[in-house]
Amino acid sequence: MLIYDGDCQFCRLSLEFGIKNLPIFPKYVAFQRITPEDFGLTQAQVRSRIWLVQKIPAGSKQLGGHLAAGAVLKMQPSLALRVMGWLISTPPTAWIADLSYRLIAANRHRLPGGTRQCKLEDDYFEK
């Protein structure tokens, strides 16, 4: 399941783009409609980035930010998209993808469709 910020218009537009343009897309839910702890996450984590998760068992791998985006791309039938997902997820290109994701997420309130609700709190860079 993909968890996203349902109050952020930029996030919603990004989600809609993925749903419309990717043949395979996971189930998705706004973090405002779930209890993050059911997925092994905190409120700060779900506010800071997208997450691709499995509900319990405890200790299951949760993928956040660029790793979640990379995993979604690796699900696609297109070889080009799968390669892009691999690049996003594998160092050293993953370091660039992570930095890019963090910069976009930290400034999403300034991007097209962004609003005050999109602005991240100071705990964004907390892991």
Q: In what order do the strands lie in the sheet with 28-30?
A: 28-30, 2-4, 51-52, 63-64
What would the two tokens of residue 108 be? 């999403």
Report the DSSP beta bridge partners of residue 30: 4
Domain locations in the chain as residue ranges: 2-122
CA distance 12 to 26: 15
CA distance 6 to 69: 17
pTM: 0.84
* pLDDT of 113: 65
3-state secondary structure (DSSP) of residue 126: coil
Name the residue type at position 68.
Answer: A
In order along its 127 residues, the chain shows pLDDT tens digits of: 999 999 888 889 899 999 999 999 999 999 999 999 988 899 999 999 999 997 655 556 799 999 999 999 999 999 999 999 999 999 999 999 999 999 988 888 787 665 555 555 533 334 3
* pLDDT of 76: 97
